[in-house]
Structures are given as C-alpha cells and as structure tokens.
Amino acid sequence: MQQAQGAHAILAQKAARLIGSSGGRRWIVVLVLPFLMAFAAFAFAPNTIPSKIAITQVIEELELPIPRAGAVSEPGYWHEERIQRGDRAATLLRRLGTNDADVKAFVRATLSARMLRQLIPGQSVRAYQTADGKLLAFRYQNDGEVLDVKRDGDGFRVSEGTVELERRVLVASGEVDTSLFGATDAARLPDSIAIQIADIFATDVDFHRDLRRGDRFAVVYEVLYDQGEPVQTGRILAAEFVNDGKAYRALWFEYAKGQGGYYTPYGTNIRKAFLRSPLEFSRVTSGYTNRRYHPILQEWRAHRGVDYGAPAGTRVRATGDGVVKFYGWKGAYGNLVVLRHQSQYTTWYAHLSRFAKGLRRGKRVLQGETIGYVGMTGLATGPHLHYEFRINGVHRNPLKVVLPPAPPIQAAQRPAFDAAAAPLVELLEILRGTYLARLDREP
C-alpha cells in the first residue's frame, strides 16, 4: 500500500505541473487510476492546460452547497427516478414517494411547463423531499435545458431555462482483453468514449480485423456535470492507442471557432481522406477476391468489394467527404448509394434497407455522416453491407488500398498547435508511465 501511495504522490506532482487556474468557469481534471486505489483532482481554466504552477497543499472544511433547485430550510434528500415510456409528472412523483397533496399542487403549478410535456424515456428526474414525502424541489434536465421547481409556501414556483454545465477533464487507461467495449467498460468509461476512440483511429486501425489482446489505450476527455452529477460525455481531447505494439496518438486542436480536428503530436492530420470501414463495429463476412462462389447465383465470379455483416438498421457512414452521385435501386445491389470524392474516387454502399433522411443527388456529405442503414435488398442472403472502393472507375481492395492523407497543420497555426499539444502529450506520457508501472508489478 505504501508503494501505491508513493506512486500516486509522484503522479499527482507530475499532473499538478500541468494544471493551472484563472477567472471564469473552472474545469476539473481527474486521474482515474483504479490500480493505485486513489485519484487526484485539479482545476484549470477553460480551453487551457497551462504548464507550470507552484504546488501548495491546503486542507480545510467545506460546507456543502444548498441545491440550486431551491433554497429550502427543511432537511431532506435527493431521490432520482428514471423516466419510463408513458410516464407523466404525477406518475413519476408517486413513484418517488411524494405525498398526494403535493402531487396535485405540483401538477397545477406546472401545467404550462413545456419540458414536462416532453419527458424522454431513459432520462432521469430528481426530487428533493423530506423523509415523510413532502416535496421541496424538483429538477429535470434534458438536452441543455433545465426545469426547476421549488416549494414556495403552500405551492410551487416554476422556472425553465438553459442549464449551466460544469466541464471536467478526466483521464483513464485500459487494456483490451476481448473487445474495445469490454476494455472501456472495465475502465468505467461510457460507450460514447469507445465509439470516439474507434472513430479517431479508424483510418489507422481496422477495429473489425486488427484488434489484438493486450492492445492498450489512454484517453483525456471531457465530461459535463450538472450539480455534481455527470449528464453528458464530451469530446476526447487526447488519446493513445497501442495496436499490436505500434502506438498511435491523436490530439484535438481547434484551429478556428467551432472548427477543429485530430492531429499527431507532429501536426500530421490523423484523419485520412477515407475511413477504412463504413461501419463503426462489424465483421468482414466476405473479402475482396477475383474468385468467389456466389451463394444465390451459384456460380464462381469475382467479388470486387468487402461485405460487412451487421444487424439490419445499423447506420452506414460515408467513408470520406463527397457528393451523392447516385442513390436508389440498382439491380443486384438493391438500394445503393454512390459517392464521388474529389475527381477520381467513388465509394459504393449496397443492399441498404433505407436511405438517410434528406439524402438527394448532388448533396454534399461529410466523412462519418450517416447515408443509409444496413439491409438485405437486392441479391443478398442476409443483412450486410457490400462496400466498394473505386479509383478512376477501377475496383480496388478497400482493406489494402493506400489512402490519401488529409491536410496537416498550416504553418500559421503551428505555434498555437504546439502550445496546445505540449501539455496533452505530457498527460499521455503520465498515463503510459503509470500503466507500465502497473505491468512491472504484476506477476
């Protein structure tokens, strides 16, 4: 235990050198290190991870803040309930154990509350009430908006507005045993982070074919909190993925307001012009070959694409920025989308069950944008996606073709990129160091 505490102290000192603070809203960075039986938290200013500060240890008693949902004088507790299909406000309050008189008063007070007419199944509401069921406050937050209801004498006062979320930066690492989702679950990371990892490294790692037991990952990511409760996972700010011994790193850089991308620490664009796969997670059921026995036509013929098995309805992504050249029914392809990329590349997506809403010929689509959904239209024995990659009209193997790169960091942006990248790289180094230290201790 002393060894773990010592390692944790060293890690905390290294991390603290990266953290600073300034006026305005604060961010929190939390180092999630379960193998050290501890964690450290530090605050720093939005959109910055400063390099060096003096470290001072301060210990003081903290008074818990009164909940924002209402300044109440009576002692109580927060009770959370998940919204179910068909729920109304009265139903939720009764499940929360609220007194019937308060339920009726609440319903009368909130008749005009728009958010209560749009209760989303799966979301949660929170009620602050006494042990005998007296309702003191009620809070419902969804999609950036919040409904606050607090007791006011014998009735309730209602307010609706935009929620003020606190941003925190968390870091975590893990090792792949059976799957990426299994590894992120073990690291207590939400599925949205696993999906982002797969998206970020999709042009370097084929997560259908290349994943190996013992592959490792480390992430620095944002989480949005409402009154101390996590409500939304944000963007990955930095990530490392080690696949079959080869390390890939990606850093988020916002080069203009609302515009950014992932780059290596050297400024190379992580994103290639094309993704390796049009599906986030699937399996290759039939590869690119000059000779394959067709299960329906019962004859040997070339298979000039790759088939990905996936459940019907799985979303299909555009593998690159492009323009819709064709969409509709095309013989054996069934429902087909063809995208034109630059002047020489086209990609084909066949056997779709349906097309994305708003898709039309000539529409410009972005890499990763949904263009349709997996199906089994045309000559198909089961739900799957048939994907083709063509250069100047000539078929190429999507799994082996050399993909053109996307533009790197521009010279004028280089100083800003280097300043933003340095502390993120150091955080990844800290995570790698602690991970390797754990491996050294394991038998």
Cα 304 off chain centre by: 33
- Structure-block tokens of residue 222: 């944002």
- Asked if 166-272+417-441 and 283-396 have one fold, the answer is no
Among 162-166, 259-263, 422-426, the range with the most confident prediction by mean pLDDT is 422-426
| CATH class of the domain at 283-396 | mainly beta
| CATH class of the domain at 166-272+417-441 | alpha beta
Q: In the prediction, which pLDDT does 25 show? A: 39
Q: Decide if domain 77-162 falls under CATH 3.10.450.350.
A: yes
- Structure-block tokens of residue 10: 């060293």
Q: Which residues contact 20 (CB under 8 A, 6 or more apart)?
A: 44, 45, 48, 49, 50, 51, 53
Mean model confidence pLDDT for the chain: 79
Q: Please write the tens of the pLDDT for every residue from 189-228.
A: 988 899 899 889 877 887 877 888 899 999 999 998 877 7
What is the average pLDDT across 403-411? 82
Residue 345 has pLDDT above 90, yes or no: yes
Q: In the prediction, which pLDDT does 42 show? A: 34
**Confidence band of 327 (pLDDT split at 50, 70, 90):** very high
Q: 2-16, 44-58, 170-184, 408-422: which has the minimum mean pLDDT?
A: 2-16
Q: Angle between the 414-441 and 2-16 helix axes, to the nearest 10 degrees? A: 180
Domain locations in the chain as residue ranges: 77-162, 166-272+417-441, 283-396
Which is nearest to 197 in space by CA: 212, 186, 183?
183
Q: Residue 426 burial (CB < 10 Å; 0-12/13-18/19+)?
A: middle
Could you give the CA distance from residue 49 to residue 19 in angstroms, rounded to a whole number?
6
- Tell me, what amino acid is at 427? L
Q: In the prediction, which pLDDT does 73 show? A: 54
Is the pLDDT higher at 64 or at 284? 284
The torsion of the CA quartet 229, 257, 341, 367, rounded to 10 degrees, works out to 0
Q: In the prediction, which pLDDT does 66 show? A: 42
What is the average pLDDT across 308-317? 92
Q: Which residues contact 172 (CB under 8 A, 6 or more apart)?
A: 32, 187, 188, 189, 218, 219, 221, 431
Widest CA span in the chain: 81
Please state the length of the chain.
443
Q: In the prediction, which pLDDT does 281 show? A: 66
**Confidence band of 333 (pLDDT split at 50, 70, 90):** very high
| 255 contacts 267 by C-beta, under 8 angstroms | no
pTM here is 0.55
Q: In the prediction, which pLDDT does 357 show? A: 93
Could you give the CA distance from residue 265 to residue 283 in angstroms, rounded to a whole number?
31
Q: In the prediction, which pLDDT does 334 show? A: 95
Q: Please write the tens of the pLDDT for every residue from 375-399.
A: 999 988 889 999 999 999 899 998 8
Return the percentage of the chain with pLDDT > 70, whole number.
77
Give the CA angle between residues 151, 156, 159 to the nearest 5°: 105
| 159 contacts 113 by C-beta, under 8 angstroms | no
| 205 contacts 281 by C-beta, under 8 angstroms | no
**Confidence band of 78 (pLDDT split at 50, 70, 90):** confident
Question: Which of 183-190's residues contact partners 24+ apart within 8 Å by CB, and which partners?
Answer: 183/217, 184/217, 187/32, 188/32, 188/34, 189/219, 190/233
Q: Please write the tens of the pLDDT for every residue from 100-159.
A: 989 999 998 998 888 888 888 888 888 899 988 899 999 888 877 888 899 988 889 998
| 365 contacts 324 by C-beta, under 8 angstroms | yes
Q: Please write the tens of the pLDDT for every residue from 35-69.
A: 333 333 333 334 445 454 444 555 555 444 444 44
Residue 256 has pLDDT above 50, yes or no: yes
